[in-house]
Amino acid sequence: REIVGIDVARRGRAVEAQRALESACLKRFGLIYPNGESRPVLRSDNGKVFTSKSFTGSCKQYGLTQEFITPYTPQQNGLIERFFRSLKEECIWMTNFKTFAQAREAIETWVEFYNAERLHHILPP
């Protein structure tokens, strides 16, 4: 498991989500507009950020296929839901940040830890 794109922001608008999407495409594909035979799939909930014209347009522009979970079923997006729970429990709720910059740095550092060192428990089949 790896978080490939993140944008720590004060607001949750489409523009912030687009920055994270661009970051992920650059990291994963080495370019913003992936090409090839298979189109990567981006799964998300049905929030306004992900259904906005600007975000869906960016997905098309980047060559991604959007897949939306059934409304009110976060378990269909369990991996990212669990990621955010862990982020809150292990980083955000543990610290009383004095500034937004301090919070951003701590979150970005924790995501690096999550990607490189943190154990990801998977139950055997």
Domains of the chain (ranges, CATH numbers): 14-116 (3.30.420.10)
Tell me the per-residue pLDDT of 53-101, one tens digit each, with 9 for 90 and over: 999 999 998 889 999 999 999 999 998 999 999 999 999 999 999 999 9
Cβ atoms of 81 and 74 within 8 Å: the answer is yes
CA distance 106 to 102: 6
User: How would you class 21 by CB atoms within 10 Å of its CB: exposed for 0-12, middle for 13-18, buried for 19 or more?
Assistant: buried
Query: And the tokens for 66?
Result: 């959007």
Q: How confident is the model at residue 120 (pLDDT cuts 50, 70, 90)?
A: low
The structure's pTM equals 0.80
Q: Spell out a b/e string for 8-19, using b for 16 or more CB atoms within 10 Å of the CB, else e.
A: eeeeeebeebbe
